[in-house]
Amino acid sequence: MALINTIREKSGWAVGAIVIGLLLFMVGGDLFTGQNSFFGRSDRSVGEIAGQEIDYDEFNATLEQAKQAFIQQQGRQPDEQAMGYLREQAWNQLLYRIAFQKQFEKLGLTVSDDELTDMVQGTNIHPSIRQAFTDSTGQFDVLKVKEYLRNLDKMDPQAQAAFANFEQNLRPERLGQKYTNLLKMSTYVTSAEAKRFNEGMMAQVNLRYLFVPYFALSDSSVKVTDEQLQAYIDKNQGRFKVEDGRSIEYVSIPVTASVEDSTEIGKTVNELATQFAAAPADSVFVKLNSDNPVAPAYLTAADMPEKLREQLPLQEGKVYGPYAENGTYSLYKVTGQKTGDQAAARASHILIKSDGTTPEADAAAKAKATEVLTKIKGGADFAAMARQYGSDGTTATGGDLGWFQQGRMVPEFEKAVFGASSLGLLPNLVKTSFGYHIIKVTAAPTKQTYRVATVQKSIQPTEGTRDAAYNKAQELKGQAIDLESFRKAVAADKSLQKAEAKNLGRGDQAVNNLQDARALVRWAYGADDSEGAGAKEMGDVSRVFEIGDTYVVAVLTGERSKGTADLASIKPEITALVRNELKAEQIKQKLSASKGTLEQMAQAYGAAAQVKTADNVVLGQSMIAGVGSEPTAVGRAFGLKVGQKSAPIAGEQGVFVVEPTSAQPAPPATDVAAARQQLTAQRAARTDGLIFEALKQNADVKDNRAKFF
């Protein structure tokens, strides 16, 4: 408790009690404790950072601190997904401690006792202290800090340990701030850079361009060799740095309720329906018999389930159902009715939006809506017209909006629907901020509400169904001894569907849509708690994994090591890139052989060549409307004189020939301070992450966590 003693020696301030919970939350784990290779045994090694071995006990101690902080913050134990996050946090804490500490020592950075005192009760209060000792009015009270510290030794051990842990982190945290600030303060933007930035954002050009998209040439017409692909990787190694990865093929056999299971549950629900009708205390019956007990409540037609709404008007005392929907049987008992405060109605509409904000665009939208309304009045089907002319998300349902309560739609729309004198098509258009609506009232407004008690029973698979799925997975496991036999067995059973997961990372928690699949990932990396070691070589077949309500059998198909990606693992990705380069050369050669205007060049090339215009193209944004980001073509356009035509340019989406028609250079910059400030802030904002990644890269990290977690 060096900090407490220092404060007492310097001032002897008074102290008092405050809730420790917030401080516990702020602690987040001890970053700078732990022993190196406690047992010194390789089977206990979780990994290595900057030549320092991380023992299992050291890692687990850091993980436990992170876990306790999570419990204090969330008020619950972490689930498996949260534990995956906490393991990553603990690993990064150790990486930070070891990698950064070496930098602190190299630079001779220190934090004095005076600095620590200042962080708790001086002029540079630590944010956690300030937040914990700020009252409801937003005022920080340093007297409460002093009072708290004075009485800390009288508090329970948990409170003392929490503050001791917090105190222990103050010095390394300040060291980290000093280190990163040294680098942040070195961030500098020259006047020339700021000037170029201003020019890039202000300079504009209007241009005409000839464009031949890469897809104009069929992929089959361009042959790409492995030598060309490897040459591309060698030339662009920085773009293809990868971490360790494992690839698998797998079959998922879900445990889903059978028809027999549903029938069996249905019998139980039918018996409950009879009991429900005679039950004297509906709330108690729901609580005892529903899988999702909810207290009975008054519902409008807009709020009740569709199956129940179809029975309107409802009869008090009657049980409706059972209804089977989305894997659940539902029973509804009406136990009361009354007039509510807000009416509910049902309607369909066809929305005709304006193409702009001008009076002409509004008039065009109104004319179109009037035309459609006239067709409907003449006998055209409303739903068909909605699907043809509607411009919102209701087109697929023929314009049906379903039931809705007053207060949920825009005022003009509600006034028309709830003020309608009868069902059917409204005679006039209704204009709202969205556009012009053609409205059909399909259910009359009503304020009637019903008190509904609900009993729900999930349709769950029985043990027999679960056993059948497991046996099927075991049968596949028995037939598959390697990749070839695995694929053969899957192909022979049409009920099985094979999936593939490429380059799973060591810390991955999910495999495609399989959540909490950590055990499967660990198996792919050679670890398996349940049955000895995991996969060792290509073609190894896994045991049967139970992941949620799914049984999974997998086979290892690929292994990738940290470094530059090998050709096989990224071949599809770079094949497209290299193919486009080869297409670009073919297109450029053909365009270079033609002369004249852009139109004449396009005509000579063929139908795939298009001549278009792009106005107000900004140098610093590199966007060509209708095409996308094309920095090379845009940059080349700004290097040409007005009326000058470029040579063919290989872009991102195709080959361009650009011709500026007018240019607006950036006005002379009299003050570049704002641009310099903006660029400096952008660079500084990236510094923390870049520092961490740089130290991580230089720390020669060996991550063996998959052996244990």
665 close to 230: Cβ distance less than 8 angstroms: no
4 pLDDT more than 60: no
304 close to 296: Cβ distance less than 8 angstroms: no
Choose among 548, 552, 427: nearest CA to 496. 552
Location of structure tokens 């629907």: 417
Distance separating alpha carbons of residues 150 and 641, to the nearest angstrom:
77
pLDDT, one tens digit per residue, over 463-476 is 999 999 999 999 99
533 pLDDT more than 90: no
145 pLDDT more than 60: yes
Choose among 258, 311, 261: nearest CA to 457. 261
Give pLDDT, residue 569: 79
- At 1, the pLDDT band (50, 70, 90 cuts) reads very low
Amino acid at 407: G
- Which structure tokens are listed for 42? 């390789």
Give pLDDT, residue 531: 57
DSSP character for 430? Answer: E
93 pLDDT more than 60: yes
Amino acid at 619: L
Angle at 622 between CA 617 and CA 623, to 5 degrees: 65
Write the DSSP assignment of 81-148 as a string of letters.
Answer: HHHHHHHHHHHHHHHHHHHHHHHHHHHT----HHHHHHHHHSSS--HHHHHHTB-TTS-B-HHHHHHH
E-assigned strand segments in 33-77: 45-49, 52-55
User: Distance between the two ends of the chain, CA-based, in angstroms?
Assistant: 34
Q: Is the dihedral of CA 418, 423, 429, 432 positive or negative?
A: positive
Distance separating alpha carbons of residues 551 and 613, to the nearest angstrom:
57
Give pLDDT, residue 285: 94
- Which structure tokens are listed for 585? 């050369």
17 pLDDT more than 50: no
Give pLDDT, residue 529: 63
Q: Which residues of 140-172 are buried (b: 16+ CB within 10 A; e: fewer)?
A: eeeebbbbbbbebeeeeeebbebbbbbbbbbbb
40 close to 48: Cβ distance less than 8 angstroms: no
352 pLDDT more than 90: yes
- At 694, the pLDDT band (50, 70, 90 cuts) reads confident
Give pLDDT, residue 101: 85
- At 12, the pLDDT band (50, 70, 90 cuts) reads very low
Averaged pLDDT, 198-225: 92
- At 438, the pLDDT band (50, 70, 90 cuts) reads very high
Distance separating alpha carbons of residues 681 and 687, to the nearest angstrom:
10
29 pLDDT more than 60: no
Angle at 218 between CA 217 and CA 224, to 5 degrees: 100
Residue 694: phi and psi, rounded to 5, are -65, -45
Q: In the Cβ-directed half-sphere of 159, how many Cα atoms lie within 13 Å? A: 13
Distance separating alpha carbons of residues 4 and 59, to the nearest angstrom:
29
Give pLDDT, residue 24: 32
pLDDT, one tens digit per residue, over 53-76 is 988 888 888 888 888 888 877 888
- Which structure tokens are listed for 231? 């040459």
Distance separating alpha carbons of residues 556 and 541, to the nearest angstrom:
7
Averaged pLDDT, 524-547: 83
Averaged pLDDT, 597-601: 94
Residue 251 makes CB contacts below 8 A (sequence gap 6+) with 473, 476, 490, 496, 497, 498, 499, 552, 553, 554
Residue 417 makes CB contacts below 8 A (sequence gap 6+) with 345, 347, 409, 439, 441, 445
Distance separating alpha carbons of residues 300 and 283, to the nearest angstrom:
20
574 pLDDT more than 70: yes
Q: Where do the structural domains in the chain lie, given as residue ranges? A: 2-183, 204-242+569-664, 245-256+463-561, 257-460
CATH of the domain spanning 257-460: 3.10.50.40
Which of 144-158, 293-307, 367-381 has the weakest average pLDDT?
A: 144-158
Write the DSSP assignment of 619-665 as a string of letters.
Answer: TTT-EETTTEE-HHHHHHHHTS-TTPPPPPEE-SSEEEEEEEEEEEP
Give pLDDT, residue 532: 55
Location of structure tokens 């198909």: 557
pLDDT, one tens digit per residue, over 102-132 is 888 888 998 898 988 888 888 888 888 888 8
85 pLDDT more than 60: yes
Write the DSSP assignment of 691-709 as a string of letters.
Answer: HHHHHHHHTT-EE-GGGT-
Which of 180-189, 199-208, 612-621, 640-649 has the weakest average pLDDT?
A: 180-189
pLDDT, one tens digit per residue, over 169-196 is 788 888 888 888 888 888 888 988 888 8
593 pLDDT more than 80: yes
- Which structure tokens are listed for 655? 């080959």
Averaged pLDDT, 260-276: 91
Q: What percent of the chain has pLDDT over 70?
A: 93
Averaged pLDDT, 324-347: 92
